[in-house]
């Protein structure tokens, strides 16, 4: 097997692991990974504006607005006017949203992060550099991507 075949197989395995975990999350919670990341961000940050959420999860504000619309329809998030500035609308979790966050399974990246943090700094840097170089080789370095792992359309 050639070197490039081994790289492509490893990339396919990574993609497959992300896809399987995403499907498990939807099956277990009815929520997508991006929705769970937004819920987790609101659990940690409390009331937040859509732009603050977008910055925290590295997605566009339009994408966050779409996710918040779905979470609001599901009764997991509510939008409230800011006490300081009535022009500002904030998102906050409902009790149902907090419960969904408390009971959701671990996202794939949480387990990855735990393992990654046990590596030596040189090994972490080597992995980061290698993956960034692969993205460049695949002409993917300019694609918009967030730091959480999910496949498929964001607005599922």
Predicted confidence pLDDT, tens digits, the chain (156 residues): 888 899 989 999 988 988 888 888 888 889 988 899 999 999 999 999 999 999 998 888 999 999 999 999 999 999 999 888 888 899 999 999 999 988 887 776 677 888 999 999 999 999 999 998 998 998 887 776 655 555 444 443
Q: Domain limits of the chain? A: 3-137
CA atoms of 73 and 87, how far apart (whole Å): 22
Which of 1.10.10.10, 3.40.50.1970, 1.20.1050.10, 3.40.50.2300 is the CATH number of 3-137?
Answer: 1.10.10.10
112-118: long-range contacts, CB 8 A cutoff, minimum separation 24: 112/149
Q: What is the pTM of this model?
A: 0.73
Confidence (pLDDT) at 147:
57
CA atoms of 141 and 57, how far apart (whole Å): 18
């Amino acid at each position: 097997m050639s070197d490039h075949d081994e790289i492509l197989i490893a990339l396919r395995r990574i993609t497959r692991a992300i896809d399987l975990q995403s499907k498990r999350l939807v099956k277990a919670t009815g929520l997508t990974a991006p929705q769970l990341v937004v819920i987790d961000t609101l659990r940690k940050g409390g009331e937040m504006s859509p732009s603050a959420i977008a910055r925290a999860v590295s997605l566009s504000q339009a994408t966050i607005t779409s996710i918040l619309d779905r979470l609001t329809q599901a009764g997991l998030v509510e939008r409230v006017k800011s006490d300081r500035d009535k022009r500002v609308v904030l998102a906050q979790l409902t009790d149902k949203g907090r419960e969904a966050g408390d009971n959701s399974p671990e996202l794939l990246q949480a387990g990855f992060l735990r393992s990654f943090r046990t590596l030596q700094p040189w090994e972490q840097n080597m992995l980061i550099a290698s993956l960034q170089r692969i993205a460049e080789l695949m002409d993917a370095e300019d694609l918009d991507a967030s730091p959480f792992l999910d496949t498929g359309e964001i607005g599922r």
